[in-house]
Structure 1
Amino acid sequence: MAVNSLLPFLGTSPSQEAVFQWLEPELGRWRHNPKLATTILSDLAKNRLPDVALKILRSMRQVEVEVNGFHCNAAMHACQKAARWQEALELLSFWLPEFRVSPDAVSFSTAISSCEKGGRWQLALRLLTEMMPLAKVRPNEVSHNAAISACGEKGGQWQLALQLLGRMSAARITPNKISCNAAISACSKAGEWQVALDLLSRMPVRRLVPSEISFSSAISACEKGGQWQLALGLLRQMPEVMVTPDAICYSAAMSACEKGCQWQLALSLLRLMPDMRLMGDEITCNAVISACSKSGEWEQALSLLCEMPAVRLVPNKISYSAAISACEKGSQWELALSLLNSMPLKRLRPNEISYSAAISACEKGGQWQLALLLLSKMPEVRVVPDEFSYSAAMSACEAGGQWQLALSILAKRSSTALPSAPVRKLADGNWPSVFCQACLAPDSRPATSASMHPGLHQLQSLARHFWASR
C-alpha cells in the first residue's frame, strides 16, 4: 500500500474511524511483517502528514499489532517535518511508554529537531542535557547538531551553541560539518563576526572541509558586523579552497557592500553572477538598490529597478522603498512621488519607510505642502507615521517658514507617544530648529496664550522639563 493510494480516500486529516476502516485489511499483514508499517509511516513523514501517521499508530494499538521503535520514530519524524513539536514531545513522553518502546538516540534527536523547528530552544536543550541522561541514552552528533541549531540559529543563544560544540569534544563526539555550520550560523545571526571567522578557520584543523554554507554564514556575519572588506575576502577565498560560491554567498557579500556604502562593488558582484551561472533574486537586487540609495546614486537605483522584470524578478516593497530613498538623497522629489504612486498599481502597499522617504524628498525639494499631504494620507491607507515621517514633515515646514505647522505636527505626535519622547528626540536628533526658537527657548520668542497654537502649552511645559534635565 502506498501513501498516494491512501490520500485520495483519507485526505490529509482524516478521522480515526476512517483510518481504521481503510487499514483494517492491511493490519493482519502488518502483524506478520512490521516493516510494511514502517514503510507507510516513513512515506507519511516525507509527505509531512503527522495526523495520518499518529492515527495509524492508534489503529495498530487498537487491534494489538506490534508497535516498535521504528514505527514511533517514523511518526515522530512526520511531526518534526511538519514543525509539530508538541505532538513529537507527546510521542516521546507518553506514547512510547504506552507502547512499551524505549526511546533511542533517533527518538531524542528527532524530538530535539522538532523543538528546533518550533523555536523552542529551552526544550531542545533540556532534552539533550537532562532527559537523555535520565533515559540512559547517549547523545550523538545528530542530537547535538539539532540542539546547536535550536539554541543558536532559532534561539539567538550563540554562547550556548558554542558551549554545546565544546561539549561534543569533551564527550568524545566528533563535531562534523553540520555542527560547525550551525555554530557559525549562530554567531552570524548574533553579529559575532570574529567568533564566526575563528570557527571557519578552525574547520581544517578538525579535518573538515568548509562548504558554501560555512562561507555564506561567515560572510553574513561580516555583513552584520560592518566588515565588508572581510566579506569580499571570504568570497574571493572560496575558489582557492575548491568551494564554489552560490547565490546566497553573493547575496551576503552584496549586503555587506550595501552596509559599507560600496555601491560600485555591490553592482559589480551583481553583474558577475551570470558569468558564474548564478541567478540573482529579489534580495540581491534589493541589496544593490539600497547600496546605490545610500550613496545617492539614484539613476543606478532606478535602472536596477527597471531591469528586474527583464530578468523575471518582481520588485517588491523593499525594492521600491530603496529606490524612493535613492531619489530622496538625489533631490529627485518628482521621481520619488511617481514611484510611491505607482506602488498600488503594482499591487504593493507602501509602508512607513516608503512614505518617510517620499516626505523627505519633498522636504529637500521645498515642497512642504506635498510633504504634509503625504503625512495626512498615511492613516488613510493604514500606515502609521513614525518618527522619521514626522521629522521629515516638520523639516519641510521649517524650510518653508511654516513654524506654526511644524509645531502643530509635533503637538499631534506628542499625543501619541510618551510625554518626553518627542522633545528629547527633537533636541537630540535633527529636528527643525524652528521648534527650538518657538518653544524650547520660549524666552526668545514671547507668546501669549491667545497667540499660541493649540497644544503649545503642553509642549512648552515639556520643553522646560527637558531643559531642566539637561
Structure 2
Amino acid sequence: MSRVSKWIQALTMLRLFNQTLQFNVITLSSVVTSCARVIAWLSSLNLLERTRIMSQPINEILMNSVMASMGMGEKSWRHAVSVFASASELCQVDVISYNTTMRSTNWWKSLSFMLKMTARGICDNVVSLNTLVSCLPWYRALKFLRHAEAHDAAVQADAVSYNSCINSCPRWLQVLELGRSLLLRRLDATMVTSTSTMTALEKAGMWQQLVSRIERAWDDLERSEATAVLNAGINGLGQNGEWLKSFSILQKFAVSGVLTDVITWGSLIVVCEIMERWQRALSLCSELQTYHSMEVVENSVIFNAAACAFAEGELWQQALELLHDASLSQMQVNILVYNSILFACSKAARWQESLEVLGSLNRPNEPTPSIKTYNTVLAACRCHWRQALHLFSQLPDGLEADAITFEMLVAATTGRCLQQASLLLSFAESNVQSLLKSG
C-alpha cells in the first residue's frame, strides 16, 4: 500500500473510531504522523482544530507531529510558525518543537528560532545545529561553522554539520578547507564527505586534487565505502568527458593491487559507451571477464554494458558466451540484452546462431521478443532468403511488421527470388497505405 493510501486510511479509521469510541491525544498523534509522511499538512491542521473544538488535551507530542507535517512551501511554513506560536500557549515546547519548526521554515526564520532557544534557556543540541546548517545558504552556513569553531560553542559541530556545508558549497577551495577542518577536529570523515568533496573538485576541473582525494579515501574509510568513493569519482569524470583521466585513475589503483570491485570496471565500461569508445570498452570487458566472470553476470547493469560493447565490436562469440554464463547463473536477462547479442551475431551474418537465440526466447520466464528482435534476426539471414521468408511467416500474432522488416526481407530476396521480392514490395506498399488511412 502506498504512503498516500495509508494516510487516507488512517483518517478514515479515525472518523469511524470517533463514531464509536472516544479517541485520545495518542491516537491523534499517530494519525498526524501518518499525514506527516506525505506532507498532508492541511489534514494535520484540520485534526488539530477538531481537537481544540472537542476540548481534548493537547501536548507537545501532538504539536510536534503537526509541525513535522509542514513542508517547505510559502503557505505551509507560515502555518508551521503559527502552530508553534499556538503550541507555546497550549503546552510546554521543547527542543524537538524548535527543531521540527526550523526544518519547515526558511533560513532566516530558522536562525531566529535558534536565537530564541538560547534566549529562553532551552538546551539546544547537535540536531538543532545541523538543522540550522542545512537551512542556511552555503556562505552563511560556512560563517556559522567558523564562528562556532572560534568561540568554542557549547554544542560542537559533528561530521553531519560539515558534510551538509560541503555538499552545498560550490567553491572547491572552501570545500577542501572544510574537509581539513573536519579532520583537525578529529571527526571521522564519511563516504558523504568524500563524495561531496569529489563532486566539487569535478565541477572545478581539479583532477589532480580529485585523484589525491580518492587516494586518501583508501586510508580514511572502510574498504566498501572507499570503493564507492572511487566509483563515484570515475563515473563523475566520465560523465564530464574526462574518460582518459578515468582510465588513468583505474590503472593507478589496479597496478597497486587494491582495486577488485567489479562496479568500478562497470562504471568505466558505461563511460566508454557514452563516449563511444568501443575498443576501450571491449578491452575492459575482456579483463573484467578474466577476473570477475561470474560477478559480471550477477550485476545486471554491467552485464548490459558488456553485451552492448560486444555487439558494437561484432564479437558474437563473446556475446554468446556471456549469454551462456547468464543462463548458468539463472540470471533474468531483458529483451534489450537479447537484442544486443543478436545484433552482434547479425553483423557477422551468423544466422544459425541468431535463430538459436531467438528460439531460446520461447522458454518459460524469458522476455517476449519485439519486432526489433525479429528484424535483427532477419538481417542475419540476409544471405539466406528461404530462412528469411520462413521467419517472416512465423511472426507471432499481435506483432506487426514495420518498414525495417520489409527492408530486411527485400534485401534477402532481391537477386535470388525476384517473384517473392515483388510480392513483398506489393504487400509492404498496401500495408503502408492502410496505416496511412488508419492514421
TM-score, with length taken from structure 2: 0.56
Q: Structure 1 pair 367/216, CA: closer, same or farther in 2 (3 Å)?
A: farther
Q: 2:83 aligns with which of 96, 99, 117?
A: 99
- In the alignment, which residue of structure 1 is the partner of 2:337? 319
- In the alignment, which residue of structure 1 is the partner of 2:367? 348
Q: CA-to-partner distance for each residue in 1:73-97, whole Å, 9 max, x for gaps? A: 6436xxxxxxxxxx77488356425
Q: CA-to-partner distance for each residue in 1:256-298, whole Å, 9 max, x for gaps? A: 45652343431321442379x8984122222222222222222
Is 1:248 aligned with 2:263? yes
Is 1:267 aligned with 2:286? yes
- In the alignment, which residue of structure 2 is the partner of 1:436? none
Aligned residues of 1:296 and 1:330 also touching (Cα < 8 A):
yes
Aligned residues of 1:329 and 1:361 also touching (Cα < 8 A):
yes
> C-alpha separation between the residues in 1 aligned to 2:318 and 2:345?
10
Tell me the CA shift for residue 232 of structure 1: 3.4
> C-alpha separation between the residues in 2 aligned to 1:417 and 1:209?
62
Tell me the CA shift for residue 239 of structure 1: 7.0
Structure 1 runs not aligned, ≥5 long: 1-6, 31-36, 77-86, 112-126, 146-162, 188-193, 419-470
Q: 1:14 aligns with which of 6, 9, 22?
A: 9
- In the alignment, which residue of structure 1 is the partner of 2:230? 215
One-letter amino acid of the structure 1 residue matched with residue 331 of structure 2: L
One-letter amino acid of the structure 2 residue matched with residue 301 of structure 1: A
- In the alignment, which residue of structure 1 is the partner of 2:311? 293
Aligned residues of 1:165 and 1:179 also touching (Cα < 8 A):
no
Aligned residues of 1:293 and 1:322 also touching (Cα < 8 A):
yes
Q: Structure 1 pair 75/224, CA: closer, same or farther in 2 (3 Å)?
A: same
Aligned residues of 2:269 and 2:305 also touching (Cα < 8 A):
yes
Aligned residues of 1:352 and 1:384 also touching (Cα < 8 A):
yes
> C-alpha separation between the residues in 1 aligned to 2:232 and 2:137?
19
- In the alignment, which residue of structure 2 is the partner of 1:337? 355
- In the alignment, which residue of structure 2 is the partner of 1:357? 376
Q: Structure 1 pair 325/16, CA: closer, same or farther in 2 (3 Å)?
A: same
Aligned pairs for 1:216-231 within 5 A? 216-221=231-236, 229-231=244-246
Q: 2:69 aligns with which of 69, 72, 75?
A: 75
Aligned residues of 2:81 and 2:101 also touching (Cα < 8 A):
no
Corresponding residue SS for 1:302:
helix
- In the alignment, which residue of structure 2 is the partner of 1:381? 398
Corresponding residue SS for 2:205:
helix
> C-alpha separation between the residues in 1 aligned to 2:342 and 2:306?
14
> C-alpha separation between the residues in 2 aligned to 1:107 and 1:245?
46
Higher mean C-alpha displacement, 399-408 vs 347-356: 399-408
Q: 2:51 aligns with which of 21, 38, 63?
A: 63
Is 1:283 aligned with 2:281? no
Tell me the CA shift for residue 333 of structure 1: 0.9
> C-alpha separation between the residues in 1 aligned to 2:236 and 2:431?
37
- In the alignment, which residue of structure 2 is the partner of 1:395? 411
Could you say which structure has the larger radius of gyration? Answer: 2
Q: Structure 1 pair 300/177, CA: closer, same or farther in 2 (3 Å)?
A: closer
- In the alignment, which residue of structure 2 is the partner of 1:233? 248
One-letter amino acid of the structure 2 residue matched with residue 19 of structure 1: L
User: CA RMSD for the aligned pairs?
Assistant: 5.6
Q: CA-to-partner distance for each residue in 1:88-119, whole Å, 9 max, x for gaps? A: 7488356425524699897787x8xxxxxxxx
Structure 2 runs not aligned, ≥5 long: 53-57, 87-96, 113-130, 139-166, 180-189, 218-225
Q: Structure 1 pair 359/300, CA: closer, same or farther in 2 (3 Å)?
A: same
- In the alignment, which residue of structure 1 is the partner of 2:116? none
Tell me the CA shift for residue 374 of structure 1: 3.6
> C-alpha separation between the residues in 1 aligned to 2:49 and 2:10?
16
Q: Structure 1 pair 25/312, CA: closer, same or farther in 2 (3 Å)?
A: same
Corresponding residue SS for 2:14:
helix
Q: CA-to-partner distance for each residue in 1:367-391, whole Å, 9 max, x for gaps? A: 376269549937x434674x75555
Tell me the CA shift for residue 252 of structure 1: 1.4
One-letter amino acid of the structure 2 residue matched with residue 233 of structure 1: S
Tell me the CA shift for residue 348 of structure 1: 0.8
Q: Structure 1 pair 372/393, CA: closer, same or farther in 2 (3 Å)?
A: farther
Aligned residues of 1:219 and 1:252 also touching (Cα < 8 A):
yes
Q: CA-to-partner distance for each residue in 1:117-156, whole Å, 9 max, x for gaps? A: xxxxxxxxxx9xxx656987898457779xxxxxxxxxxx
Is 1:198 aligned with 2:192? no
> C-alpha separation between the residues in 2 aligned to 1:197 and 1:353?
43
Counting aligned pairs with the same residue, the percent is 14
TM-score, with length taken from structure 1: 0.53
Q: Structure 1 pair 241/179, CA: closer, same or farther in 2 (3 Å)?
A: farther
Aligned pairs for 1:408-427 within 5 A? 408=426, 411=429
Q: CA-to-partner distance for each residue in 1:47-85, whole Å, 9 max, x for gaps? A: x95389985665344324256885356436xxxxxxxxx
